[in-house]
Amino acid sequence: MIYTPLTKKALRLCFEAHKDQTDKTGIPYVFHPFHLAEQMTDEISTVCALLHDVVEDTDYTLEALSDMGFPAEVTEVLALLTHDPSVPYFDYVKALSVNLIAKQVKLADLAHNSDLSRMDEIDEWAIARTEKYQKAIAMLS
């Protein structure tokens, strides 16, 4: 993990935003963005990995993050990583591919979400989701 004042601010916000959430197997959700952040190589990508689901999965907005002092470079990436449900999934993936940091974070996200060993039960839904994510990985690779 890269520790700077900005990444520490993102760590605290990530924890606060996701502290009451769990993943599909009951594990605290916050471990997912922490896992992604561990793979990043610089301050901005680390911050984006930590915050990649904050706007999509909590009540925080991009404007609120900006007001908290997160720079435009971060909020622009987070805007790309936040999937608007009215946009078809693969159109969303294609749109975020124009930004190298968004692409790097999304690839890490897709890889982690495709890891079936995280699942307690591998059912048809899990297999279909993994196939969708593998197609997204191919688009971004």
pLDDT of 28 reads 94
- Catalytic, 56? Answer yes
Contact (CB, 8 A) for 39 and 49: yes
Model confidence pLDDT, tens digit, residues 16-54: 999 999 987 888 999 999 999 999 999 999 999 999 999
Please tell me whether residue 28 adopts helix, strand or coil conformation: strand
CA distances for 17 relative to 22, 23, 30, 134, angstroms: 12, 14, 9, 28
pLDDT of 124 reads 87
Contact (CB, 8 A) for 65 and 74: yes
Of 16, 20, 42, 57, the active-site residue reads 57
pLDDT of 23 reads 86
Q: What is the number of other CB atoms lying within 10 angstroms of the CB of residue 45?
A: 23
Per-residue pLDDT for 120 more than 80? no
pLDDT of 116 reads 80
pLDDT band at 57 (very low <50, low <70, confident <90, very high): very high
pLDDT of 123 reads 81
Tell me the mean pLDDT in the region 83-90: 96
Domain 5-140's class? mainly alpha
Of 56, 73, 91, 123, the active-site residue reads 56
Tell me the mean pLDDT in the region 74-94: 97
pLDDT of 105 reads 98
> DSSP character for 39?
T
pLDDT of 79 reads 98
